[in-house]
Amino acid sequence: MMADVEQNLKVVSITLFLTVLKPKQPQVIAHPASLDHIAVQLFPTLSINATLGLVITIDNRNYGSFKYKNTIAYVNYHGTTVAEVPIEHETVPAHGKLNISTSANLAADKLISSPCFWGDVAAGRFNLTSSATLHGEVSVLKIFKLGATVFSTCDISVFIQTQDIESKCKSKIKL
């Protein structure tokens, strides 16, 4: 009799978890906060300096919180890593949002050495891609704890003349 009750509770719990509590993909939005210290100097020597300021918003639409470990986001320019951005551990609350303020110092020498550099300067826009993998733990109703990984990629366009930034991000959670 007691075994039947336990079995029924397990079935109900699993059914709830796989239907109502089914994990939804988090939304990750990279808000361009600033483009500081952008300077292109052609003579006497070619140099570029730029700091890309971002506020990254993670919108957790799930019933469980997500606690992730320290990680590094990578910013790439035509397949070459031009910046590494440390992201400190944090917890994204259930049905909540978390804003992370960060900045990336772009490696000018890697930008300049790309064969696409001068074409992008002429076009007035740099296209960057950022990627981050957040390893952590999902806690649902403080009962279920599961290992989880969130993969996020963002396409970032930096407009040189206006110093505006546009971004579009995609993310996926894997339990």
151 pLDDT band, cuts 50/70/90, is very high
**Does residue 87 contact residue 132 with C-beta atoms inside 8 Å?**
yes
CATH number for the domain spanning 106: value is: 2.60.40
Residue whose C-alpha is closest to residue 133's, from 54, 65, 71, 56: 71
pTM of the shown model: 0.76
**Does residue 149 contact residue 133 with C-beta atoms inside 8 Å?**
yes
- State how many domains the chain has: 1
Tokens in use for 25?
Answer: 């993909």
pLDDT at 122 over 90: yes
Q: In terms of residue numbers, what domain contains 170?
A: 23-174
Is residue 14 included in any domain, yes or no? no
2 pLDDT band, cuts 50/70/90, is low
Give pLDDT tens digits for 64-88.
Answer: 899 999 999 999 999 999 988 889 9
**Three-class HEC string of 122-154:** HHCEEEEEEEEEEEEEEEECCCEEEEEEEEEEE
Is residue 3 included in any domain, yes or no? no
pLDDT at 47 over 90: no
* Whole-number pLDDT of residue 46: 65
pLDDT at 115 over 90: yes
